[in-house]
Chains A and B, each alone.
Chain A
Amino acid sequence: MSRRAHFVLIANSDSPRVEGFQKALAHLNLAQADIVSYENLLSNPSCLSQVLRADSIVRVESPGRNFRVEQKILQLGIQEASRENYYWIEQDKLERCEFDKGLILAPRQWYLGYQAVLQMIAGQVEAFSSACSFMNHPVEIAMMFDKPHCQSRFQRVGVEVPQQFGLIDSFEHLDCMMRVNGASRVFLKLAHGSSASGLIAYRRNRNGTKHQAVTTIEKISSYQDISLYNSRKIRKIDSLAEINTLVDALCRHRCFAEDWLPKAQLEGLSFDLRVLTIGANPHHVVVRQSKTPFTNLHLRNKRASVELLKSHMDAEAFNAAMSACQQAAACFPRSLYAGIDLIIRSGMHRHAIAEINAFGDQLNGIEFRGKDTYSSEIEVLLYDNAPARDFQGASIG
């Protein structure tokens, strides 16, 4: 049966993710997936049902790295965003918007728009045939894009996450939350960000005479407004007034704060792990080393081998960290795979989940048992008859 498996890929067609997945299918002697590009889907939603078959397996890919798609998603978020108090871009302005590399546009509005896209996809597929399935269900993809929601969910099931300080609406609010919790080091994150976008690590001494923010954000202030850019150049800010301005600017995009946990080091560099779970089991693991607190900043970060890590880490502690990923992934029973960012805390005895990513499986050159990420996913989906848990993401072909 599985040889006949029909995959439909919703993606930006020029994405290397598409190429990677098609290659994996070819490698496994499976038919190439039909591609529905986001651009087509967003201008003509019914184009999806034209490629669906009764038992299609739908894979929703990241809509990132395509400005026209980003614009359309933002457009779909206008109505809901306008009812909230976060930063949003109105129709006229959005139409006039031009691609400006690195600019953080309106992540909350984007999230609301993308949620609508995901709902539309789910609706269409389910209406088409109940035998169709998803690799990762759109509803859960949407949930994974809500970072604070995921963190509290993990916390509830007993998976370690950094101490949560909740949504933060201004520097004043952050200051208050830190006092209440007796915290002197926090990470401020975008609720709907990824790849180290919009991160501020802030710390101060107890009597408040020293302050420092370390950030991936480049702030450009103009006469009228403040623009925030993602930058690989890590900036340090010592002035309280400047930190205040930056935090306030980021908070317009919906932010949450959590404890800034010192990360363990390997060969003198801080690191964290990207763990790809498939069927909730940990598969591919990447050890990401960095000179900055932002180990998840893609590109320019070094990678170390899992073997090296294991030779430095207690087996029990490593296994506990892997079980945490398992438990975290199990919070999303309708998703086949997830990319989990896992902090190994300084000392290497403890861990904490930093975030979970619905599209966190693009790990070039990383293999597990001789297979790349996409091949492993397809194999588990089609041939693994005894999944570890009640995985109900897809019917077995």
Chain B
Amino acid sequence: MTINSCMSEFAGRRVQTWKPGQKISDVQNIAFKVGIEPDEGDWSEIFSGFLETPGVEKVQALVVGAWEDMVEGGVCDAVVEEIADAAAKLTKLEALFLADVTFEECEISWIVQTDMSPIFTAYPQLKVFGVRGGSELDLGDLEHENLEVLIVETGGLDESVVKQVGKSRLPKLRHLELWLGDGGYGASFELEDLRPFISGEKFPNLKYLGLRNSEEADAIAKLLAESPVLSRLEVLDLSLGTIGDEGGEALLASPEIKKLKKLNLRHNYFSEAVIKQFSALGIEVDTSENERSAKQDDRYVSVSE
């Protein structure tokens, strides 16, 4: 999966890049993004400036952009440490996302992450946590009373992270979004590791389940089609995957599928016939960017300019 654009919205708020010297206001509607421009500046310095800005104690949502040398190991540790240390100031922080960068800045599978547990410890009031990049990612012994939304975006999810989520204690979780990725970029989990989420036994309050960006999407779709979790979910998100007609037909055959509010199947591999059946389901189904639709001629004559 290629991240082509920065987030425009996070946790229901508009993402706005904070620049040194800027004021902090409208914290209800703005997620403040703190990051460096490529090859310019120092993340720690910008973040210190942010923390010294009047009104910072009111900030509810923070998006971390790029830090220097994201592709090198060990750098992210300091970023996590500084965010954890800022907890005394960011007392209203509810939503945090780490590494909103496009592939032009840094490829998702190249971002080197680290142990996130200092953040969960420092922010017991956190409701939304998202992280992009699966390399060296560690969620620790994940226990959090208030976390409602957990997003892990990767090009390839390591089995250790899947297992950490499987063992976690997140009593309020209602939105679980895992970008599973492919083996070539570090996906090392077994389908069995996903069973607690697919069966629905792990998070009984879940309303949104996203098992996205997966090369195992057909098998996952088939398991989900037979799972009682469908009857409890509002949104099932299997977008950015490789589901073909086999997985599609399994989903269609499930009597529970119509109870969803939304089924997101954007960017998969269905035939036109199966797409038609999804459209006839009577619920909101997104089958845009289907990869098997109308093959086009991609070659072009270069214009001499």
Residue of B with least CB distance to A356: B305
Q: Across the interface, which residues of B come within 8 angstroms of A238, CB to CB? A: 184
Asked whether, in the complex, the Cβ of A195 is within 8 Å of the Cβ of B298, the reply is no
Asked whether, in the complex, the Cβ of B298 is within 8 Å of the Cβ of A62, the reply is no
Q: Across the interface, which residues of B come within 8 angstroms of A229, CB to CB? A: 299
Q: Across the interface, which residues of A come within 8 angstroms of B104, CB to CB? A: 262-263, 270, 293
Residue of B with least CB distance to A297: B300
Asked whether, in the complex, the Cβ of B6 is within 8 Å of the Cβ of A64, the reply is no
Asked whether, in the complex, the Cβ of B72 is within 8 Å of the Cβ of A206, the reply is yes
Q: A205-B71, A270-B104 are in contact. Are A64 and B110 (CB under 8 A)?
A: no
Question: Interface residues of A toward B: which range?
Answer: 35 or more
Chain B residues with a Cβ closer than 8 Å to the other chain, count: 27
Q: Does B177 contact A (CB under 8 A)?
A: no
Separation of A104 and B300 alpha carbons in the complex (Å): 10
- Chain A facing B: main interface SS: loop
Residue of B with least CB distance to A264: B37
Q: Across the interface, which residues of A come within 8 angstroms of B184, CB to CB? A: 238
Asked whether, in the complex, the Cβ of A262 is within 8 Å of the Cβ of B298, the reply is no
Separation of A270 and B4 alpha carbons in the complex (Å): 8
Return the contact of A101 from the options B2, B72, B102, B299 (Cβ within 8 A): B299
Q: Does A305 contact B (CB under 8 A)?
A: no
Residue of A with least CB distance to B70: A205
From residue 245 to 261 of chain B, which have CB atoms closer than 8 A to chain A? Answer: none
Q: A229-B299, A347-B37 are in contact. Are A359 and B8 (CB under 8 A)?
A: no
From residue 202 to 248 of chain A, which have CB atoms closer than 8 A to chain B? Answer: 205-206, 210, 212, 218, 229-233, 236, 238
Asked whether, in the complex, the Cβ of B305 is within 8 Å of the Cβ of A65, the reply is no
Asked whether, in the complex, the Cβ of B304 is within 8 Å of the Cβ of A262, the reply is no
Q: Does A120 contact B (CB under 8 A)?
A: no
Separation of A385 and B299 alpha carbons in the complex (Å): 45
> What's the least CB distance linking B88 to chain A, in Å?
30
Separation of A119 and B304 alpha carbons in the complex (Å): 17
> What's the least CB distance linking A221 to chain B, in Å?
16
Asked whether, in the complex, the Cβ of A64 is within 8 Å of the Cβ of B5, the reply is no
Q: Does B68 contact A (CB under 8 A)?
A: no
Q: A205-B110, A269-B5, A358-B305 are in contact. Are A230 and B299 (CB under 8 A)?
A: yes
> What's the least CB distance linking B304 to chain A, in Å?
4
Q: Does B301 contact A (CB under 8 A)?
A: yes
Separation of A18 and B184 alpha carbons in the complex (Å): 50
From residue 282 to 320 of chain A, which have CB atoms closer than 8 A to chain B? Answer: 291-293, 298-299
Return the contact of A210 from the options B37, B39, B69, B110 (Cβ within 8 A): B110
Q: Across the interface, which residues of B come within 8 angstroms of A262, CB to CB? A: 37-39, 104-105
Separation of A210 and B72 alpha carbons in the complex (Å): 10
Q: Does B192 contact A (CB under 8 A)?
A: no
Separation of A263 and B110 alpha carbons in the complex (Å): 19
Q: Across the interface, which residues of B come within 8 angstroms of A197, CB to CB? A: 302
Residue of B with least CB distance to A73: B304
Asked whether, in the complex, the Cβ of B304 is within 8 Å of the Cβ of A101, the reply is no
Q: Does A123 contact B (CB under 8 A)?
A: no
Asked whether, in the complex, the Cβ of A339 is within 8 Å of the Cβ of B305, the reply is yes
Asked whether, in the complex, the Cβ of B102 is within 8 Å of the Cβ of A265, the reply is yes
Q: What 0/1 readout, one digit per residue, does chain A (46-80) give for beta carbons within 8 Å of chain B? A: 00000000000000001111000000000000000
Known contacts A104-B302, A145-B304; 7 further A-B pairs (Cβ under 8 A) = A62-B304, A102-B301, A114-B304, A196-B302, A205-B71, A218-B298, A265-B102
